[in-house]
Amino acid sequence: MIIIITIIASFLCGSIPTGYLLTKKLCEIDIRTKGSGNIGSTNVKRIAGTKISIITQIIDILKGIIPVILGMYLANIIKLPVSTNTYISIIAISAVLGHDYTPFLKFKGGKGVNTTLGAFILVAPIPTLIGVAVHFILRLFTSIVSIRSIAIGLTIPIMCIVMKLPISIVVSTTIACILMVVRHKDNLIRIIHNEEK
């Protein structure tokens, strides 16, 4: 029962629509009707500015970190019917799913980049940091954020495989990668047609 409750709590934590709430409160706009229509920090930056975008990014990262930290704490004090790695991996992916498909906005959420980073920075720290490094390296070659974001999603599970991390971590990061690619499908179509900015 505790496991089920914590998974639901992780999903709901990830579901908090940060960009939507901040722009609604501070700018009195519905971010879903502006720019790309996405509630993530990239679109928030375009519409509401850098400051609100950074706040959005930080909170979205924390939405992934906090459930994982709580999950790790519980894993140390209670006996789990599954391995700690499996439990924490499920907690992490639940937060990402919450962000991507928030019930507070009719299951239409963000693209999951920041929440994925937050969720897996403690689960798979080195692969996640390498993913971030790839993102910044790609800034030297392209200004297109979606390409760099997808690169993060691809890098993390690949590095988990290379480093031979537990299968539960490989599976959960792979799911996160697939979600990230799916959430960027419109961007990919625009990239193919050379229309992405």
Instruction: For residues 36-59, give the mean pLDDT.
Output: 94
Tens digit of each residue's pLDDT (9 = 90 or more) over 136-162: 999 999 989 999 999 999 999 999 999
Q: What percent of the chain has pLDDT over 90?
A: 88
Whether the model clears a pTM of 0.85, i.e. scores above it, the answer is yes
SS3 labels along the chain: CHHHHHHHHHHHHHHCCHHHHHHHHHCCCCHHHCCCCCCCHHHHHHHHCHHHHHHHHHHHHHHHHHHHHHHHHHHHHCCCCCCHHHHHHHHHHHHHHHHHCCHHHCCCCCCCHHHHHHHHCCCCHHHHHHHHHHHHHHCCCCCCHHHHHHHHHHHHHHHHHHCCCCHHHHHHHHHHHHHHHHHCHHHHHHHHCCCCC
* Residue 197: pLDDT over 90: no
